[in-house]
Chain A
Amino acid sequence: MTEHTTSDRSASGPTATERTAGTGTDGIPGRFGPFGGRYVPEALIPALEELDEARQKAMVDPDFLAELERLHRTYTGRPSIITEVPRFAAHAGGARIVLKREDLNHTGSHKINNVIAQALLTKRMGKTRVIAETGAGQHGVATATAAALMGLECTVYMGRVDTERQALNVARMKMLGATVVAVEHGSATLKDAINEALRDWVTNVETTHYLIGTVTGPHPFPEMVRDFHRIIGVEARAQVLELTGRLPDAVIACVGGGSNAMGIFHRFIEDEGVRLVGVEAGGEGVETGRHAARFASASPGVLHGAMSYLMQDEDGQTVESHSISAGLDYPSVGPEHSWLRDSGRAEYRYATDEKVMRAFELLCRTEGIIPALESAHALAGALEVGRELGPDGLILVNLSGRGDKDMHTAAEWFGLVDDGGEGTSDEGARPAAPRRPANGVGLVDDGGEDTSDEGARPAAPRRPANGVGLVDEGER
């Protein structure tokens, strides 16, 4: 965490202010070219200034850095390993593919890196409550986890649509003691959860820190969250060098808000020979309009405090995004990605749901690793880039999370539940004999119960969740 680059074009910290030149704004730090900024109600400005000061002090405070390092080592499980996946890579034109295993972190994704650090900052600022938005539920789970660990009160906002498709994570957050608020407004997905979290923050800012889960939002969030995830690329770069003796030809990550991608990209920005490839959610196809491929279709605009590429209509109203993966279902993207894209340092492509599910299944079958649907976008990208590079290619993929949370969606997609919808709608339904060996069947209706009844007591489950063998976090 202490390592800082000085020469890359999207530097952190002190050099950030240099980039405000020519943006038409009056000395505001946190610009990435024309992107970023602080488009928020005045009421939040003091809190953003306080946060900016606190994180700048923390990042040069040996006590803070030592505490963060200790927690990452003894709690998060850092450093995360890398795994070479030759059987998967055989389907990618023979290029070598190495996965950075953020799925093995405590709570199951990269999200914990940022959350642990922001929770420590929350305590340093003397605040007692954290709020968070969540799409896939991974950030919400990570936030609920850190809140439990550090004795903070925690409320997580989640779109109603997402509470349904990520039911298991709702149950996990509740187990961890968080309040989960299902947001019904608008598209009832991630963007609406953020709106609601911002409203809470404006109201309770004195006691509450808004623990934003990705590299979006007003300054200093994009820069700060990136810095807290930068450890991914720092570790991975050294690990790949050690394994292969060289730098990868391409580093590939999925891009929702863009935190796992910024985390793995940042250390490589100055390595000019390394391609940085972000993969967005192509949903049902860009031509259908039902996607979240911002860079393939959008234009710059302001949402949730930052200027960035934004899916919007002619009047500037936000257009709803769509993706099979809740964590990528967001109409805007972190401002630094917009800058990396426009400046040409990174390239962005998209993968449709169809291709993503194929890559998802392929990794399961060839390597025994069940990826998160978000991460499966990066895998789909790797299959393409691998074929472009050929057998001499070396690709590093950020496997940002594990797929336990996605078993419901996967079971539906692959027809693993015999009676399809009945499994979720009928609480009494027993998992029928699956056509395929799908442990996920048992999870489908467990999850459904937990979300459909907010008051459900977790204490006396009719059926032990562990019985299906996949719920590893619930055991403690």
Chain B
Amino acid sequence: MSAVTATGLGVTDVLARCKAEGRAALVGYLPVGFPTVEGSIRAMVAMVEAGVDIVEIGVPYSDPVMDGPVIQAAASTALAGGVRTDDVYRAAAAVRAAGAPPLVMSYWNLVLKRGVERFARDLAAAGGAGLITPDLIPEEAADWIAASDTHGLDRVFLIAPSSTEERLTKVTSACRGFVYAAATMGVTGTRESVDSHAPALVHRARTVSPVPVCVGIGVSSRAQAAEIASWADGVIVGTALVRCLAEHAELSDGIAALRSLTAELAAGVREGDR
């Protein structure tokens, strides 16, 4: 039941293609509106050109409890710059046109406020592949599950090292596209090494569900990407990419840094010991 839109491949197809190539997929996160709406869209497109397989488009939110300081600061800048929920559809269309499935990551109140059905309809119309919901658990998601079925969108819920077997079963069975495994207990940011709980979590998820497992939170380097690529279906990188844009005053410099980091990470996901 993969979500293949008329304009391109769905998340499931991309993950299958990567698997056929004997590698993990690279999922890159950037928030729309940082440093500006136009700048963020250019950066997302650059990331696709440099080797990201799936783009995770963040919607800036005033109270991002799952995010560390780098993404919080980017969200604040984007909101101060006047970013609106509507901008995410433009970004999704641009990413789709560049050839990668756009998955939107949004805190739940932004979706609720727009109306779950309307959010889903607009996202599908813009070529969006689906939604990652960091503060929504399947039990609270009846409306979203219905709307995503209606509009053929993927649903990515999260699992964490603290998840019990019962929770893993419940969450993975509600997912479509992949399940997002939080590599560590904590918020987004970069970590020195890959948490030892991560491979165990992926293994536990695999024993209860066939849904692909992508691993994120704390991943920043080629070596970490390669390590995770050995045992996961996808590697999700956020903070390290956002930092490329945050650390350069000139957008073109930021995008150049983003391209080279993306290329490194793309090499990493091909170096996994599978």
Residues of A near any B CB (own CB < 8 A):
24-28, 37-47, 185-186, 191-192, 195, 198-199, 202-206, 301-305, 310, 312, 314-318
Contact = CB atoms under 8 A, between A and B. Distances in A.
Interface in B85-128: 85, 108-114
A203 to B, nearest CB: 4
Contacts of A203: 185-187
A74 B25 CA distance: 61
Interface in B158-199: 158-164, 167, 171, 182, 185-187
B66 interface: yes
B61 A37 contact: no
13 contacts: A27-B139, A37-B140, A38-B137, A39-B137, A44-B162, A45-B167, A199-B65, A204-B185, A206-B162, A301-B109, A305-B135, A315-B84, A315-B113
B63 interface: yes
Given A37-B140, A41-B135, A314 B113 contact: yes
Contact of A40 (B64, B76, B135, B182): B135
A27 B85 CA distance: 31
Contact of B136 (A39, A47, A192, A315): A39
Contact of B187 (A45, A185, A199, A304): A199
Find the residue from A26, A204, A318 having the highest chain B CB count within 10 A: A26
Contacts of A204: 185
Contact of A43 (B64, B84, B112, B182): B182
B6 interface: no
B108 A39 contact: yes
B62 A318 contact: yes
Contacts of B112: 301-302, 316
Given A38-B140, A47-B162, A202-B186, 8 more contacts: A26-B138, A38-B137, A41-B134, A45-B167, A203-B185, A305-B135, A315-B85, A316-B85
Contact of A42 (B85, B108, B157): B157
Nearest to B68: A199
A25 B142 CA distance: 6
A306 to B, nearest CB: 11
B220 interface: no
A40 B251 CA distance: 34
Nearest to A314: B113
A42 B163 contact: yes
Contact of B139 (A26, A47, A192): A26
B79 interface: yes
Contacts of B137: 38-40, 42, 45
A316 B60 CA distance: 11
A310 B113 CA distance: 11
B162 A43 contact: yes
Contacts of B221: none
B236 to A, nearest CB: 15
Contact of B63 (A43, A46, A304): A304
Given A24-B142, A301-B113, A317 B62 contact: yes
Interface of B: 61-66, 68, 72, 76, 79, 84-85, 108-114, 134-140, 142-143, 157-164, 167, 171, 182, 185-187
Contacts of A317: 61-62, 79, 110
Nearest to B161: A43
Residue among B61, B76, B139, B140 with the highest chain A CB neighbour number at 10 A:
B140
Given A26-B142, A315-B114, A317-B79, A41 B109 contact: no
State the 3 A-B residue pairs at the shortest beta-carbon distance, nearest first.
Answer: A316-B113, A43-B160, A203-B186
A310 B63 CA distance: 13
A42 B158 CA distance: 6
A305 B65 CA distance: 10
Contacts of B135: 39-41, 302, 305
B167 A46 contact: yes
Nearest to A300: B112
B81 to A, nearest CB: 13
Contacts of B65: 41, 195, 198-199, 202, 304
Given A206-B185, A317-B61, A41 B114 contact: no
A315 B139 contact: no
Nearest to B73: A185
A372 B182 CA distance: 43
Contacts of B61: 317
B85 A43 contact: no
A301 B135 CA distance: 13
Given A27-B139, A186-B62, A315-B114, A202 B159 contact: no
B162 A46 contact: yes
B63 A202 contact: no
Given A27-B139, A199-B187, A316-B112, A41 B158 contact: yes
Contact of B158 (A27, A28, A43, A315): A43
**B68, B72, B79, B185 pick with most chain A CB within 10 angstroms:** B185
